[in-house]
Structure 1
Amino acid sequence: MAKKNKNEMSFLDHLEDLRWLLVRSSAAIIIMALVTYFFSDFIFDDIIFGPTDANFITYRFFCEVAQILGITGDICVKELPFTIQNTSMEGQINVFVWTCITAGFILAFPYILYELWRFISPALYEKEKKNAIIFIFVSSILFFLGVLFGYLIIVPLSINFVATFSVSSVVKNEFNLDSYIGMIKTSVIAAGLFFELPIIIYFLTKLGLVGPDFLRKYRKYAIVIVLIVAAIVTPPDVVSQITVAIPMLLIYEASIWISALVEKNRKKNEQSSSRI
């Protein structure tokens, strides 16, 4: 039986395509999760629990920057006074499984983008379909940069803040394993997806749902939100807050530039069509 033309597909046919997209993407995540199983010791000891060490690269970097700038205060991390404990029988098993799945999702992200592109490509022009490799490459790079930003900046600064914060010397910080892992997963995945904002804005502008004027209008609100987020996830020092806020603001500004470029090209194409 011949395959239906995409333009002739019914709503149920599109749902079937979406179902297979989810099936193939889930299979890719599971396969990559199984791969991470063989590197679980490195993932947990060196990556997951790396930020619990006062000699972690981020802490040393901020300490060196503070010394160069002549900033005084408790920026240099000497110790992280907390312990991580497991309080449920199946706690470590659940953490192990879901950490491997999360790592599998991160590693399989380029393939998930490929499947997503296959799903939406019928709605695009032929010229745009040829940009599949560029789309997957740029989107993957942005996602991985976001993951690194979340892991190297947001996670250690958050850990340092909550580890050194205390309402009283009587209270000792003993963090639950699920809480610790959850914070890392949320920070890393959220940062990775946030770095996809320029790509999302590109498609929303193509659909006419947003434009550069809209983004510029709400820029001041975006700045306030970014500063609030930076203040929440970082210790109360200006250097840390600026380090978190600047990349996020640059991503927003890049989204405005991309939206303006897409709108300019669309208007140019419309003018060319009207002359014919």
Structure 2
Amino acid sequence: MNVLGKDLPVMDHIGELRKRVLWSALFFVLAMIGGLLVAIPIIHYLTSVEPVKGMELNAFSPWDGIRIYMQVAVYVSLVLSLPFILFQVWLFVKPGLRKEEQKASLLYIPGAVLLLSIGFSFAYFLVFPMAFYFTGVMTNQLGLTQTYGLAQYFTFMFNILLPVSLMFELPIVVMFLTKLRILNPQRLNRLRRYAYIVLFITSALITPPDLISAIIVSIPLMGLYEISLLLSRSIYRRQQAAELAWEAEYGEK
């Protein structure tokens, strides 16, 4: 395998990959300890604020408490580990990048963390309360008593927070795939209408079944797609300029 003009044995890359995976796993274990320590305070906080403030959450299974405790601990540890794991990925691919590419790609790490935080905030403070309110309205209209289980409540929350938060990583994914020349602005332009349909359908699936809610959620996601397209175009132009400069300097020799 060739990296910056050097032929490196495949086993060297496997060894390097193993090293990065082991470091990531070790850090995750340490973060898991932190997650286990803060999981109970986080659960207490999430069950004491809107939209379930003042409501009674029940355990319908002996395993509900420990299951939610472990889930929250795992999610916290994943969030804490994300920057370190991304840094290990960067260290693994770093030898195959030019110096300017190394600096530029390193910025993906804080960018990914920032977008994940924005996506989580958008999902938790807007999408999740809106969806929970709708289910409560429907329950009341049917004349039913709202009796919620702890596991069901947190599962409902996670099923909204996780996909929305991850969808906000779209610009980072597009930039990375453009760097690898898997995507380009022309292809993203051709896929725009299909991407909008997929984003709207996804928004409709994770929100209450009304048009307004789906539109409210889909507009930021479509905006992310347009931002991704602009970033891809910028990277693609720099790639084209670098190729032209290389051809001008070495092409005729």
TM surpasses 0.5: yes
Alignment of 1:227-266 (within 5 A): 227-235=200-208, 240-266=213-239
Aligned to 1:10: 9
In 2, Cα distance between equivalents of 1:110 and 1:183: 27
Gaps of 5+ in 1: 55-78
Return 5+ residue gaps in structure 2 as ranges. Answer: none
Structure-2 residue corresponding to 1:139: 112
- Give the equivalent residue in structure 2 for 1:162: 135
- Counterpart of 2:121? 148
Pairing partner for 1:199 from 172, 180, 183: 172
Match of 1:121 in 2: 94
Higher mean alpha-carbon deviation, 143-152 vs 179-188, is at 179-188
Q: Indicate if the aligned counterparts of 1:202 and 1:262 stay in contact, CA closer than 8 A.
A: yes
Distance (Å, rounded) in 2 between the aligned partners of 1:242 and 1:150: 14
Answer whether contact 2:31 2:81 (CA < 8 A) is retained.
yes
Q: 12-21 or 98-107: which moved more? A: 12-21
1:1-276 to structure 2, matched below 5 A, reads 7-47=6-46, 50-53=49-52, 84-131=57-104, 133-166=106-139, 169=142, 171-235=144-208, 240-276=213-249
Q: 1:42 to 1:86 in 2, by over 3 A?
A: same
Distance 1:14 1:49, change over 3 A: farther
Q: Deviations over 1:185-231 (max 9, x none)?
A: 34323223222211111121122211111111121122222222223
Identity %: 24
Deviates more, 1:255-264 or 1:117-126: 117-126
Distance 1:182 1:123, change over 3 A: farther
Listed one character per residue, the Cα deviations across residues 219-258 of structure 1 (whole Å, up to 9, x for unaligned) are 1122222222223333355654333122211111111111
Say whether the 8 Å CA contact 1:48–1:181 is kept in structure 2.
no
* Secondary structure of 2:62 counterpart: coil
For residue 160 of structure 1, give the secondary structure of its aligned residue in structure 2. helix
Q: Distance in 1 between matches of 2:22 and 2:158?
A: 23
Contact 2:38 2:73 in 1 (8 A): no
Deviations 1:123-152 (A, max 9, x none): 211211123542222221112212222222
One-letter identity of the residue aligned with 1:217: R
Residues 115 and 168, structure 2, Cα contact 8 Å, conserved in 1: yes
Higher mean alpha-carbon deviation, 224-233 vs 106-115, is at 224-233
Q: CA RMSD in A?
A: 2.7
Matched AA of 2:29: I
Write the distance in 2 (CA, Å) between the matches of 1:178 and 1:263.
46
SS in 2 for 1:183: helix
1:113-132 CA distances to partner (integer Å, 9 max, x unpaired)? 11111112222112111235
Contact 1:205 1:262 (C-alpha < 8 Å) held by counterparts: yes
The CA distance in 2 between the partners of 1:141 and 1:126, in whole Å, is: 24
- State whether residues 157 and 233 of structure 1, in contact with CA within 8 Å, keep that contact through their aligned partners in structure 2: no
- Give the distance between the partners of 2:236 and 2:72, measured in 1 at CA: 41
Q: Which amino acid aligns with 1:91?
A: D
- Partners of 1:17 and 1:232 in 2: how far apart? 41
Distance 1:174 1:110, change over 3 A: same
The answer to whether the Cα contact below 8 Å between 1:155 and 1:184 also exists between their aligned partners in 2 is yes
